[in-house]
Structure 1
Amino acid sequence: MLHSAGSSKKKKVASTPRNAGRPLEKDSVGRTAILEAAIVLLRGKTPEELTLVDVAALAKVDRALIRYYFTDKAGLLKAVAINVMDELQGRSQAMLLQEGSLEEKIRKRFELLIGIMHEIPQFTQLVFKEIYYAENAQEAHGDAPVASQHIVGRGLVLTKALIDSVEVDAIGHEMDPRFLHLMILGSSIFFATSQPLLQVMFGEGFDRKELTDRYIDFATKVLLRGLGASSRGR
């Protein structure tokens, strides 16, 4: 039996085109690996020194994948800042939900804040430049500062939880959480980023961990007294 010429040809199956610039499934490692690589590099580099080449090499991906997920270096740095802040605030929130005294929770808050700034020395600069300053400039063009509003709002909730503790006296309960939030952040940032000053005050050979523990102990007691709560005498 003869077949027509047309019927002897196999039908061409149309393939579903992928989005332009989208990485192949086998190459897609996701945003997490790239963000983790950038965070590791920022422990020893400034944001200005960080390159997409370095990030791609450590994450073992093509630079095109970074551009796909983050557009450019600025997009990557902002994503890193948001990611680290989200993890930091998440750990702070989990700590507040655990059993423990107000003193223990204040101490842990300081430990988390100072700890991340020791781990990533340029952390404060990164957050201010890539989130607050960047979104402030975007707001002038009509874009809402979504990330900064979220971070500030979540931070104030964490600080308000300290003020609302049953260990705080009546005067402490009236404290403005915005001022307290600034005080906690400011005292943590200044201590963590004042290495030259600390060297002059305590000597070049000071033990950073020992001094950090002493400072956190001091700051915790000062804050407790300001809130009208008693210390356990540590």
Structure 2
Amino acid sequence: MGKGQGQPGKSAAKLASRGKGRPTASEAGVGRDALIDAARALLQELPPSQVTSTAIARKANADPALVRYYFGNRENLLFEVAKQIGEESNRPLPPGDPLALLEDMIRGTFRFTRSAKHMQRLMIEELDSASSPEVREKMREWNRSPVSNYARILEFDDEGELREFDPFFMYLAVVGISDFFVSGAPLIELLAPSGTTKEELAKSYEDFVVRLITDGVRKR
């Protein structure tokens, strides 16, 4: 009798452990997208190291077990956040005016940075050193997409309007320039003209960078 009753007990405990959080998800309406939204919101406030599974679950009013249930681990969840935010800028470019496409790429990177101000740091500090080879490979492929788009801009330049540039270096430069407005916030706030709002400054900075790069690659 002890043996017969013991097995169901173990099985029930195992199922309870594996399924922990699912009733919470059902009752509270917390699903996969809610966890992505919670992680994305936290990345606006905190460095990636502090965006833990527990913090994400708390933000979504869910059980931390849901992170494992939907994504397997925190790394996969954070990759999905990065993928979702950058999806628009990572789409293959349609043929068009090369200078206009270059401007769109630059502004898309700025939008990406604004969408989650710690996203660039997330990719560099967290996902690039992820323990999962699968996540690292996904991230590698995902970052190759904008490099390919910069290469396509040169391919579309049938009339020779642009100077040659290295697509990889252009990607690195635009990411670095846009990210510094976030990572360099203390210096920017120290030097910003009196009476200028952060939103006004961000817009002016983005416009300046667009002119700087497009004028720099345009043939005179």
- TM normalised by structure 2 equals 0.72
Larger Rg: 1
1:157 paired residue among 131, 148, 153? 148
Q: CA deviation at 1:105?
A: 3.5
Matched residue of 1:134: which SS?
Answer: coil
More helix by share: 2
The whole-number CA distance in structure 2 between the counterparts of 1:190 and 1:91 is 21
Matched residue of 1:97: which SS?
Answer: coil
Give the total of aligned pairs: 203
Deviation digits for residues 84-140 of structure 1 (CA, Å, limit 9, x no counterpart): 3323442124594386x54444333333322333342322221112211236xx66x
Query: Partner of 1:179 in structure 2?
Result: 169
Q: CA deviation at 1:204?
A: 5.8
Whether the 8 Å CA contact 1:78–1:130 is kept in 2: the answer is: no
Query: Partner of 1:218 in structure 2?
Result: 208
Query: Partner of 2:35 in structure 1?
Result: 34
Question: In 2 relative to 1, CA 187–163 (structure 1 residues): closer, same or farther, beyond 3 Å?
Answer: farther
Question: In 2 relative to 1, CA 84–167 (structure 1 residues): closer, same or farther, beyond 3 Å?
Answer: farther
The whole-number CA distance in structure 2 between the counterparts of 1:129 and 1:148 is 12
Deviation digits for residues 188-214 of structure 1 (CA, Å, limit 9, x no counterpart): 112332112222332464322222222
Query: Partner of 1:60 in structure 2?
Result: 61
Query: Partner of 1:112 in structure 2?
Result: 108
Identity %: 22
The whole-number CA distance in structure 2 between the counterparts of 1:49 and 1:57 is 13
The whole-number CA distance in structure 1 between the counterparts of 2:25 and 2:76 is 23
Amino acid at match of 1:21: R
- Structure 1: runs of 5 or more not aligned: 1-16
Query: Partner of 2:183 in structure 1?
Result: 193
The whole-number CA distance in structure 1 between the counterparts of 2:218 and 2:183 is 29
- TM normalised by structure 1 equals 0.68
The whole-number CA distance in structure 2 between the counterparts of 1:69 and 1:197 is 40
The whole-number CA distance in structure 1 between the counterparts of 2:85 and 2:143 is 13
Whether the 8 Å CA contact 2:98–2:154 is kept in 1: the answer is: no
